[in-house]
Amino acid sequence: MKRKSLSEMTEEELVAAFRDGAIEQKDASENNKFSKYNKLFTRILEIAKELKERLGDRRRDLIPLLAHENIQVRLMAGNETLAVAPEAARRTLQEIKDSKWFPFTMDAGSTLSGLDSGRFRPE
């Protein structure tokens, strides 16, 4: 069965694909499958881009994922909602940084550092 293109997917399908990709990413990371992790990372960014391009910037649909049980889902959702829900996204990233759960704490800390220094500006 052929996979739908992102442009053919509903917002609900995109959010589910984003969530599922991040869950798979965490598994890939824990099992040292970095090639798979990187492919999933690219796919998640493509999904976020598709949501951004939708009328009204539908990255807002990712906000519920900020409370997901999977830390990688929260991390990716935090990064991708900074432009549309900056306070909630930043709070989630700070919680991840404070968790000291490697490597997630490093990723969240890097994003927060970039925000604080002005090197990173969410779009």
Q: Are 23 and 70 in contact (CB under 8 A)?
A: yes
CA atoms within 13 A on the CB side of 26: 16
Domains of the chain (ranges plus CATH)? Answer: 9-116 (1.25.40.70)
pLDDT, one tens digit per residue, over 35-91 is 999 999 999 999 999 999 999 999 999 999 999 999 999 999 999 999 999 999 999
pLDDT at 1: 61
Cα separation, 30 vs 33, in Å, equals: 8
The conformation of residue 9, written as its DSSP 8-state character, comes to: S
Residue type, 78: G
pTM for the model stands at 0.94
